[in-house]
Amino acid sequence: MSFGVILAGLGQIGMGYDKALDPARFVTTHARAFSQHPEFHLVAGVDANPDLRREFEAGYGCDSYPSIERALQSHAPDVAVIALPTRLHGLALEQILAHSRPVAVLCEKPLAHDAASAESMVRTCDEHCVSLYVNYMRRSDPGVVEVKRRLDAGQIATPVKGRVWYTKGWLHNASHFFNLLEYWLGPVKAFKVLQTRQDADENLADLDAWISFERGDITFLAAWEEAFSHFEIELFSPNGRLRYGSDTRHINWQSTQADERFAGYTVLAGEAEEIPTTRERYQFQVADQVALSLKGELAQLCTGADALKTLTNMRKVRESTS
């Protein structure tokens, strides 16, 4: 069985990021992921920009429309993907559910700009018996899932202490890593804002903050997107160190060992274990997990409820500075 997918939004995450990249190696957009996955087929694309629609039709061989309503007059998708600007997410969901009955909706992050709108989207999907997922794609990466397994099993001991470097806004890019750490370390217990930097676009404003999760304390530090893009997570555990960042294709784990030179001392192992990730095909991994979900199997995805929790917590941190 092949599930039909409608893609609302043909911008960068919709189809732009990987259009100049080798399709055998890179799958970093929704269009490429759902067109390549054997259990899905694209039925239509939606975008107000006619140039993007023409590019989509030429590249993916299916119809495109200027509006969701027009698309759903001709198609009845199993999955709807919302890859539009955040301010349009709620309206897009309303239009999708008014004109079709998909089994699942995959929405770009953040779910909404405010918690009330996000909560309304989660509630609406529950009322329509539609599974709502949010594209925090790292949650579907096998390496990330393996770290979660090790934390749960105690192979990576807790509590941890760590730091996150991020760029491009607290509510924009930092949400990826906040959501990931909620997945790894559990609920937020406390927080303290250390420093802020304003921006004309609230979503791109930066802040440094200390966040206490159930299984450890993390300091978020904002670098400068205007200088270069970067992210890095470093966790110190009682039995080792874990590093995950934009400069590596792997998650690196260094366990502890006895110091060979000084008796009674413990140091980090010289060689790090590489936990493989699928970062060059991360969007394919999301599609793969959506397929499992549609078949009633356990899937590694961020649910709408998970994303609402992330947004609520990050908003609380942000608004504590005003």
Q: Output DSSP code: residue 246.
A: T
pTM of the full predicted structure?
0.95
- How many other C-beta atoms are found inside a 10 Å radius of the C-beta of residue 1? 7
Mean pLDDT of 125-145: 97
Tell me the pLDDT band of 174, cut-offs 50, 70 and 90.
Answer: very high
On whether the CB atoms of residues 299 and 290 are closer than 8 A, the answer is yes
CA 209 – CA 191 distance, rounded (Å):
7
Instruction: Look at residue 200 and tell me whether its pLDDT is greater than 70.
Output: no
Q: For the chain, which domains are there?
A: 3-138+284-303 (3.40.50.720), 142-277 (3.30.360.10)
* Residues 254 and 273 sit within 8 Å (Cβ to Cβ): yes
Residue 204 has pLDDT above 80, yes or no: no
**Which tens digits make up the pLDDT trace of 77-113?**
999 999 999 999 999 999 999 999 999 999 999 999 9
What's phi and psi for 130, nearest 5 deg?
-110, 130
Residues forming a β-bridge with 265: none
What string of DSSP letters covers 165-207? EE-SIIIIIHHHHHHHHHHHH-SEEEEEEEEEE--SSGGG-EE
